Structure 1
Amino acid sequence: MNLEHLLSDEDKAIRNTVREFVNKEIMPVRTLIEEDLTLVRAIHQKLVDLGIQEGGYPKEYGGTGPYSYLTLCVITEELARGDAGISQSVGINAGLILGPAMVVGNTDVLDRWASNFTGDDASFACLSMTDATGGADTENPLLHGRGITTTAYLDGDEYVINGTKSWPTHAGIANVYLTVCNTDPNLGDEGIALIYTPRKSEGLRFGNPEPKMGFKTAINASIFYDNVRVPAKYRLAGPGIDAQVYHGAMTGTQWHSAALSLGVAQAALDIALEYTGTRKSGGKPVREWSMAAGILADMAIRIEMTRAAVYNLSIMMDNPEAYGPPFTPKMVSRASSTKIFAADTAAWVTNKAVELMGANGISPEYHIEKYLRDAKIMQIWLGGQQISRYRVARGYYKYEINGDADGQE
């Protein structure tokens, strides 16, 4: 990896620790964990025991961090090499959900929930974002919040939330839900509200876990808000700032998806290299044939370019004084470009690995079909590759609909 010199000694030590953990604790059971969530829970607890979860939180709340984006990228990539769903969960729990409260200094939120993630037990958080009606409208930057159909209105010192969310990760098992709401669709970005919602809130209900072809180790389910009352102090910050953080969250989620894609692609290449090195055709290993060697080379090229892009993005996000804060159209564009490229790389590489392995490529025994399923999901979430391209375009010019230039900088 050409950015190796930019990793600190601590980053390298963490990478080695996580890599060894994945090889020992995940690789031997990566097929079994898709059908047995008790094994998944056990793995999460072992990662907590390693200190991975508490590393996302500041020392004043019992943590040992927070992580830099580059450090969390290293962790995400290595864990996704074993299982993308587990890696996704770890990133969410290790600060990505409570991170906005750290940034704006909402001590009410941190005092309530941070200790859940710096203790001895595995704990879960949830970004409750995509609305059941409209789907990707929630994430569409051209709508400036008007596509968010979950509503919130202030009643005294409480917000009252109504709506339905689809597909949030950790729905039903999380202790805290960062709920994306709209206080007034006519206000555009000013109407966006981010409200941390306790799990045990009256009127908050959850659907059954969704059956999925991939990311089976991460639970997704619907969330129903029926006049859910939440203390106003659990709103992230207020009008304007909430919108900035929400747009910044698009940068963060796209970055996270890119890092996950990188780990999946690397796992696929590792499997293909091992298989084609031992499987023989025409009296010699498959990878000794020029056609196979060319495919493997193309797989490696795309992964190396993806790694450079993902690590470069991580460093930019760690240096906002040079590249701008995450909510700016330019940074959202950079993150979206990286996510699109990384997700396409993961899908292309896993597909080529299956082709190299023939019928064995679709057999669970050889594991590659698992990574193929996970890779496809990363192309379709967060609004998909199409909505992500809107974000890319807005980093270069004022691309809007109906002449609406709200939020452009």
Structure 2
Amino acid sequence: MQYDLTEEQLMLKETVARIAREQVAPGAEKRDEEAQFPWDMVEILKENALFGADFPEVYGGSEMGLLALCVMIEELAKACASTAVILLVHELGTMPIFLAGNSEQKSRYLPRLAAGDALIAFGLTEPNAGSDVSSLRTRAVKEGDGYLLNGSKIFISHADVAEVICVAARTDTTVPGHKGTGVFIVDKGTSGLSIGKREKKMGLRASSTVEVVLEDVRVPAANLLAEENSGFPIIMKTLDITRIPVAAQAVGIAQGALDYAIQYTKERQQFGKPLFSFQGLQWMMADMATRVEASRQLTYKAAALFEAVPKNLDRVSRELIRHSAMAKVFAADTAMQVTTDAVQLLGGYGYVKEYPVERMMRDAKITQIYEGTSQIQKVVISSTL
């Protein structure tokens, strides 16, 4: 399959790289230190019409596709992973609506989301349901012309700043989770919906991660995606697709760390010559560069495979599932290894906050965990063989 970047995608890559270099990178260290959600970065993404990259034109998006979105996330992640994750979470939260929303639901929500006038989150993980999605305990009980939602979600990115949350809940507890789950669109300000604990994290510190509490949250039946007990396939296909942008984020973090390490080792003198001239360090960087490029190719291939089919529940093939999981696990493990090696290449300087590679190392770790751990990706891969 051909998945080289088109002229339009190359122009987009250059544009986003410039934005990242000039407007995102300068404040990355401060954002990490302050650990506050970066609304100024939201405005930059909004001003440059980046939120709607993968949205259909009919709803106000630019319809550039998943590969274009991955390119954008990669370029932003080179400078600041916390800024890149804004676009990643936006795609994650919207994907259930892309996949299973009816025309009325799409018309009601997608235009605001495409413009960046509203942010969205995906309420899935619970204290007892992480990798095991079928073990959800949040309940959705039919009452009149709507549903009452009760339960709690943890580790939900951007739920505190989102106008909309797609929430997964059990609609029938008499059957296994994969047969009795629904996905609901919940609007901010709905009675009973509140934000609980805010997590203090190792990395992605400028990206908020919170607990979501649902106490008799009344949701209209019109906000249920697809049918009452059909939510499990929506959830799984959402993750199958959106782990590809996570891989792109990992590629960007790794490339950013590698770029900085190369620059540093060419400038830093030891024993009368640049560190870059020592063969042992050259071999380290050769391995780092090879893994980063392999990760990029896996990610772009997975994105290209997805673009070859429509966004619906019936057209996510085993091949796509395999490639998306391969891209995610390989890119995430690469990001962790490359950032760790970058810290090593900088020696003592790599361990202090004055230099960005320690932040990149902390940011890289989550890519091995969220949207399916590296271990779960290997289960997914093997299940398609």
User: For the residues of structure 1 that align with 2:88 and 2:371, how far apart are their CA atoms?
Assistant: 16
Structure 1 residue 244 displacement after superposition? 2.3
2:104 maps to a residue whose letter is D
Task: Identify unmatched segments of 5+ residues in structure 1.
Answer: 139-144, 397-409
Match of 2:136 among 131, 148, 152: 148
| SS across alignment from 1:346 | helix
1:179 maps to 167
Match of 2:103 among 101, 107, 114: 107
RMSD value, Cα: 2.1
Task: Identify unmatched segments of 5+ residues in structure 2.
Answer: none
Match of 2:299 among 310, 313, 316: 310
Cα offsets for 1:132-187 (capped at 9, x unmatched) = 2243322xxxxxx2x12211122122111111100010121100001111112414
Structure 1 residue 242 displacement after superposition? 3.0
- Structure 1 residue 69 and structure 2 residue 66: aligned? yes
1:405 maps to none
Verify the 8 A CA contact 1:361 1:368 in the aligned structure 2: yes
- Structure 1 residue 81 and structure 2 residue 74: aligned? no
Change in 2 beyond 3 A, CA 1:246/1:42: same
2:141 maps to a residue whose letter is Y
Change in 2 beyond 3 A, CA 1:193/1:105: closer
User: For the residues of structure 2 that align with 1:357 and 1:40, how far apart are their CA atoms?
Assistant: 28
User: For the residues of structure 1 that align with 2:374 and 2:114, how far apart are their CA atoms?
Assistant: 35
Verify the 8 A CA contact 2:302 2:320 in the aligned structure 1: no
Change in 2 beyond 3 A, CA 1:56/1:254: closer
1:34 maps to a residue whose letter is D
User: For the residues of structure 2 that align with 1:301 and 1:250, how far apart are their CA atoms?
Assistant: 27
| SS across alignment from 1:168 | strand
Verify the 8 A CA contact 1:247 1:332 in the aligned structure 2: no
What aligned pairs does 1:342-381 form with structure 2 within 5 A after superposition?
A: 342-381=331-370
Cα offsets for 1:102-157 (capped at 9, x unmatched) = 343423322332232244x653110111012243322xxxxxx2x12211122122
Verify the 8 A CA contact 1:44 1:122 in the aligned structure 2: no
User: For the residues of structure 1 that align with 2:117 and 2:361, how far apart are their CA atoms?
Assistant: 28
1:136 maps to a residue whose letter is S
User: For the residues of structure 2 that align with 1:333 and 1:161, how far apart are their CA atoms?
Assistant: 34
Verify the 8 A CA contact 1:104 1:237 in the aligned structure 2: yes
Verify the 8 A CA contact 1:181 1:193 in the aligned structure 2: yes
Change in 2 beyond 3 A, CA 1:352/1:326: farther
| SS across alignment from 2:218 | strand
User: For the residues of structure 1 that align with 2:121 and 2:83, how far apart are their CA atoms?
Assistant: 14
User: For the residues of structure 1 that align with 2:87 and 2:371, how far apart are their CA atoms?
Assistant: 18
What aligned pairs does 1:3-402 form with structure 2 within 5 A after superposition?
A: 6-36=4-34, 40-61=38-59, 63-93=60-90, 95-119=91-115, 122-138=117-133, 145=134, 147-185=135-173, 186-239=175-228, 241-320=230-309, 327-396=316-385
User: For the residues of structure 2 that align with 1:108 and 1:160, how far apart are their CA atoms?
Assistant: 22
Structure 1 residue 388 displacement after superposition? 2.2
User: For the residues of structure 2 that align with 1:220 and 1:207, how far apart are their CA atoms?
Assistant: 10
User: For the residues of structure 1 that align with 2:126 and 2:92, how far apart are their CA atoms?
Assistant: 20
Change in 2 beyond 3 A, CA 1:315/1:261: same
Cα offsets for 1:26-68 (capped at 9, x unmatched) = 112210112346782112101111111133333333x132331
- Which of 41-50 and 260-269 deviates more? 41-50
| SS across alignment from 1:271 | helix
Verify the 8 A CA contact 1:153 1:160 in the aligned structure 2: yes
User: For the residues of structure 2 that align with 1:241 and 1:134, how far apart are their CA atoms?
Assistant: 18
User: For the residues of structure 1 that align with 2:53 and 2:370, how far apart are their CA atoms?
Assistant: 27
- Which of 148-157 and 159-168 deviates more? 148-157
TM-score normalised per structure 1: 0.88
Verify the 8 A CA contact 1:330 1:394 in the aligned structure 2: no
User: For the residues of structure 1 that align with 2:49 and 2:198, how far apart are their CA atoms?
Assistant: 28
User: For the residues of structure 2 that align with 1:149 and 1:80, how far apart are their CA atoms?
Assistant: 34
User: For the residues of structure 1 that align with 2:19 and 2:162, how far apart are their CA atoms?
Assistant: 24
Verify the 8 A CA contact 2:53 2:68 in the aligned structure 1: no
1:400 maps to none
Structure 1 residue 256 displacement after superposition? 1.8
2:198 maps to a residue whose letter is P
Aligned length: 382
User: For the residues of structure 2 that align with 1:92 and 1:67, how far apart are their CA atoms?
Assistant: 18
Verify the 8 A CA contact 1:208 1:221 in the aligned structure 2: yes
